[in-house]
Amino acid sequence: MKMKLILTTIVAVLFGVGNTVSAQDVSQEPLKRYLYVAEPGIRNYTQYGGHGVIVFDIDDNYRFVKRIPTGGLTDTGKPLNVKGVCGNAATGRLYVSTIWHLICIDLHTDKVLWERTYPLGCDRMSMSPDGRIIYQPSFEKDIWYVLDAASGDEITRVTPKSGAHNTVYGNDGKEAYLAGLRSSILTVTETATHTVKKRIGPFSNRIRPFTINGAQTLCFVNINGLLGFEVGDLETGEKLHRVEVQGYSMGPVKRHGCPSHGIAMTPDEKELWVTDGHNESLHIFDATKMPPVQLHSIKLREQPGWITFSLDGKICWPSTGDVIDVKTRKIVTALTDEKGRMVMSEKLLEVDFVGNKVAAVGDQFGKGYVKPAPQSGDTP
């Protein structure tokens, strides 16, 4: 078992899933995998896990380990909505955003290093693979802040005027993908200059959660009014396909105001998982076919609003706190905190340690990690 866990870390390092330390830094101590859940991660509802970052032991049946205090409070001391979470293994830092704050935490000591506020608020951010840059959307305003991740200082701004909301950094670190609540266009920036490089779409309605493949050639987007998703070509900018969930009807949802708010690709890019709020379900699609083909559905304990996967792609974590075995499609357990409360959050990711050192950090977005095929003339 010890060797298996060590090899799991090495595989993550070599194949670039999440962000990792280098292979030579991996010690001979066993890997310990943890799920970090930022709360309150369903609006500002503290009944679903309270406040702070809850840490669960993945390999010990999701045993509660600890709660890391975070801050991010109103002037009257009440916890604000957590909007996003990201981290980096090389820097050993975790970041949590609220509607007003960005909070930086040392993963080795659990200490808050700094808490910054921004004039236009914050939303769901994303970080460069090297841990140096954060694209921090304002709270549904015109701009994205480009921040120095070490200090939180503003470097520049990008202004799509789209109602800033969701952000994905490409695996190669060269592009960032910006989706706003008021726009049917996905904006792509060139991260060397932090300028708009191209625009994808328009899609059939305003974009909600989205994801991309590892080659950064395709995007899969939830949109308002659709139980399902649309597919876009990140190279040509065109919308390619509209995929509707079959056998289920749209209906009222508790949150977000759209039928599907959550979409994730398995790291191996074989499957695409999509949320269904009204029917409290996930729908699984074969992503090796284009357009993707519906395969299976899973009933959950509550309405899902997000999905992500473990670094090895074997576990799915929807925001409902259900823990799903990807291969068997079975719910194997559910998250509860130290008080026995149902834990739910749309802001969660995996953090792995080898000994006392962070070895790998996952992503709140379920992105693909299959590397693009080498082009003629590329160095192998």
Q: How do residues 20-30 score in pLDDT, each as one tens digit?
A: 765 445 557 89
pLDDT of residue 15: 43
Confidence of residue 288 (pLDDT cuts 50, 70, 90): very high
Confidence of residue 5 (pLDDT cuts 50, 70, 90): very low
Task: Between 6 and 282, name the one with better pLDDT.
Answer: 282
How far, in Å, CA of 66 to CA of 57, rounded?
Answer: 10
Task: Between 14 and 57, name the one with better pLDDT.
Answer: 57
8, 26 in Cβ contact below 8 A?
no
Which ranges of 16-137 does DSSP label H, i.e. alpha helix? Answer: none
Confidence of residue 332 (pLDDT cuts 50, 70, 90): very high
User: Residue 31 pLDDT > 90, yes or no?
Assistant: yes
Q: How do residues 220-269 score in pLDDT, each as one tens digit?
A: 999 999 999 999 999 999 999 999 999 999 999 999 999 999 999 999 99
Q: How do residues 103-113 score in pLDDT, each as one tens digit?
A: 999 999 999 99
Q: Give first-to-last CA distance, the chain, whole Å.
A: 33
265, 308 in Cβ contact below 8 A?
no
User: Residue 196 pLDDT > 60, yes or no?
Assistant: yes
Residue 289 burial (CB < 10 Å; 0-12/13-18/19+)?
A: exposed
User: Residue 165 pLDDT > 60, yes or no?
Assistant: yes
pLDDT of residue 372: 83
Percent of the chain with pLDDT over 90: 90
Confidence of residue 14 (pLDDT cuts 50, 70, 90): very low
How far, in Å, CA of 293 to CA of 169, rounded?
Answer: 27
Taking the model in full, what pTM does it have? 0.94
